[in-house]
Amino acid sequence: MREQPYRIGVIPGDGIGPDVTSEALKVLAAAAPVAGMRYELIEYPWSSALYLDDGVLMPETALEEYRTLDALFLGALGDPRVERGVIERAVLMTIRLGLDLYINLRPVQLYSATLTPLKNVEPSDVDMVVVRENTEDVYVGLGGTMRRGTPDEIAVAEMVFTRRGVERTLRYAFELAASRRRHLTLVDKANAIRAQEIWRRTLEEIAPEYPGVETDAMYVDAAAMFMVTDPSRFDVIVTTNLFGDILTDLGAAIQGGLGGAASGNLHPGQVSLFEPIHGSAPDIAGKGVASPVGAVSAMSMLLDYIGEREAADMIGIAVKELLSSGRVPSADARSGLTTEQVGTMIADEVRQMAASPD
């Protein structure tokens, strides 16, 4: 057991963010003693509400403090009362870019055939991981507008890929594939976007270093189609920031909804950020019906990342058991259970597992 308690930064954020974060922390509190791990939480108030009330956004100096933590957890961000993108850029983008979290790891896994909107699909058909590049592409914010508001307006956003950024992402994906079913699919749009050819070239160049991994490449439009018509063809998908954003909402849908999907924003070896992939869902905020499954699963990813495999696995198994048995009928707001009920069920399941380890 590690001497020092882990220090975990928590940003509950906006809308349903605080609700699902409480449940993720409830489950952490259940798993930690069983795994013999100690931790300390450092809560950060960055949210649209704070910005609206006091005009405060996350200062860039917060990044220095985050570097001293073991990991960060984020609930959700976004509020219709704040200008679009302000809070997302001030918190999420600043952390992703500032801490150079170049991998966005997004597993897509189906726990029960009843959860997916797809027909004739078994859980074993949907088991993939999307490795989304997380610091480049149109997300770098390069571009702008000219003659704004006139008929001659020009709006430009540059899609940026660096050799270093592409290569480190591909290498991560190759290694991940080597630990799974050894199949890696590059998804791009290199036929229409010539700059994306850098992904194909780099893949071909480094592939011989990973002889056990079979590779293929697919355009993003075809990949979207196959995720729906034949998801079993995918093991690890590696893709650009924007395409990864889009494909992982699709991935969440085929595994049963946005409420159940989790992600890790990683810089392997350094402090990383874990979050459910859903947003702040202002329409259901405060109603107590949001699914905490994505947030709880993100907590499991966090624990796995910091090396607490046992705690991570217990949570993962508990979530899988509750969803596959139908005791939690869905990972969305229509499960008929409250956010708190689902969180408590997962925490109880973890405790029971500890009481009877087999």
Residues binding Mg ion (CB under 5 A): 245
- Is 139 an annotated catalytic residue? yes
Per CB under 6 A, the list member of 97, 170, 277, 331 interacting with ligand IPM is: 277
Angle at 265 between CA 260 and CA 268, to 5 degrees: 130
Among 26, 44, 102, 189, the active-site one is 189
Comparing CB distances to ligand IPM, the nearer of 95 and 347 is 95
Q: What does the per-residue mask of binding to ligand IPM show for 199-238, with x meaning CB under 6 A? A: ----------------------------------------
Task: Give the integer Cα–Cα distance in Å for 158 and 139.
Answer: 9
The β-bridge relationship of strands 214-219 and 183-188 is parallel
Per CB under 6 A, the list member of 88, 167, 313, 348 interacting with ligand IPM is: 88
79 makes contact with ligand IPM (CB under 6 A): no
- Distance, CA of 291 to chain centre: 15
The β-bridge relationship of strands 71-76 and 273-276 is parallel
- Is 51 an annotated catalytic residue? no
* Of the candidates 358, 258, 276, the residue with the CA atom closest to the CA atom of residue 317: 358
- Is 245 an annotated catalytic residue? yes
Comparing CB distances to ligand IPM, the nearer of 83 and 152 is 83
CB of 279 to Mg ion, least distance (A): 8
Q: How many residues bind ligand IPM (CB under 6 A)?
A: 4
- Residue 348: name its binding partner from Mg ion, ligand IPM, none (Cβ under 5 to 8 Å by kind): none
CB of 343 to ligand IPM, least distance (A): 22
- Residue 88: name its binding partner from ligand IPM, Mg ion, none (Cβ under 5 to 8 Å by kind): ligand IPM
3-state secondary structure at position 314: helix
* Helix, strand, coil percent values for the chain (each to nearest 5): 45, 20, 35
- Residue 72: name its binding partner from ligand IPM, Mg ion, none (Cβ under 5 to 8 Å by kind): none
Task: Give the integer Cα–Cα distance in Å for 281 and 271.
Answer: 27
Among 44, 51, 102, 139, the active-site one is 139
CB of 352 to ligand IPM, least distance (A): 33
In the region spanning residues 239 to 268, those forming contacts with ligand IPM, defined by CB under 6 A, are 245
* Of the candidates 46, 51, 54, the residue with the CA atom closest to the CA atom of residue 83: 51
- For 302, the token pair is 């966090």
Comparing CB distances to Mg ion, the nearer of 76 and 353 is 76
Cβ neighbors of 310 (< 8 A, separation 6 or more) are: 34, 35
Comparing CB distances to ligand IPM, the nearer of 6 and 243 is 243
CB-CB contact of 265 with 272 (8 Å)? yes
Q: What is the DSSP string of 251-273?
A: HHHHTT-GGG-EEEEE-TTS--E
Q: First-to-last CA distance in the chain? A: 22
- Is 189 an annotated catalytic residue? yes
Residues that bind ligand IPM (CB under 6 A): 88, 92, 245, 277
Looking at the annotation, which residues are catalytic? 139, 189, 221, 245, 249
